[in-house]
Chains A and B, each alone.
Chain A
Amino acid sequence: DAKTTQPTSMDCAEGRAANLPCNHSTISGNEYVYWYRQIHSQGPQYIIHGLKNNETNEMASLIITEDRKSSTLILPHATLRDTAVYYCIVRVHNAGNMLTFGGGTRLMVKP
């Protein structure tokens, strides 16, 4: 799986958009970008994934650059409940192994 680089921590004001970047410069053509988050001591929660097109669901939007070397997860209106560690993971979807988690970005949403 391609390696990812994320900032260790970020702050965001409540109600504002939270933009979480992820670099994955060694991504290969058949690897997807997945985002998960973990709210304190709970099980990680799947948020969104994409291959090359931008994606949106009820939780977030995922913007992938044209060269696919980086992506941004956008929480359009962050709330205090979005405070969590966000993990960007790049992998082939049917690889013979499950997810490998890096350090992630600790997002603190402040009132």
Chain B
Amino acid sequence: EAQVTQNPRYLITVTGKKLTVTCSQNMNHEYMSWYRQDPGLGLRQIYYSMNVEVTDKGDVPEGYKVSRKEKRNFPLILESPSPNQTSLYFCASGFFDRVYGYTFGSGTRLTVV
């Protein structure tokens, strides 16, 4: 089944403890991206990647890192999480050169205490 898989679905962590949220897609998509969603602020893009080893900042990149070493994976790294990074996170992927919709993962609900 074509899908974007995020793990974990839920995570509670403490301030300052490094964590990684994984994202994997099986559709050979060039594009991958991370969004966060907060009440009243909607979906905001954190980072995106146009292909392997190509990443760029979105609207709210502070406090996050990403890497794209393989086409299928695009992990989101929080080196030193803070409570203001408590949010619902979504990974998405799509084709760059075709007019298709993008596919989103099921989300990761992160709580930083």
Is the pairing of A and B real? yes
A32 and B90 contact, Cβ closer than 8 Å, known pairs A43-B104, A101-B43: no
Chain A: number of interface residues, binned into ranges: 20 to 34
Name B's A-contacting residues (CB within 8 A).
4, 31, 33, 35, 42-43, 45, 48, 50, 56, 58, 88, 90, 92, 94, 96-107, 109
Give the secondary structure class of B's interface: strand
Name A's B-contacting residues (CB within 8 A).
32, 34, 36, 41-49, 51, 93-94, 96-104
Report how far A94 CA is from B102 CA in the complex, Å. Answer: 12
Closest approach, in angstroms, between the C-beta of A34 and any C-beta of chain B?
6
Q: Is the CB of B43 within 8 A of A94?
A: no
Give the secondary structure class of A's interface: loop
Closest approach, in angstroms, between the C-beta of A95 and any C-beta of chain B?
9
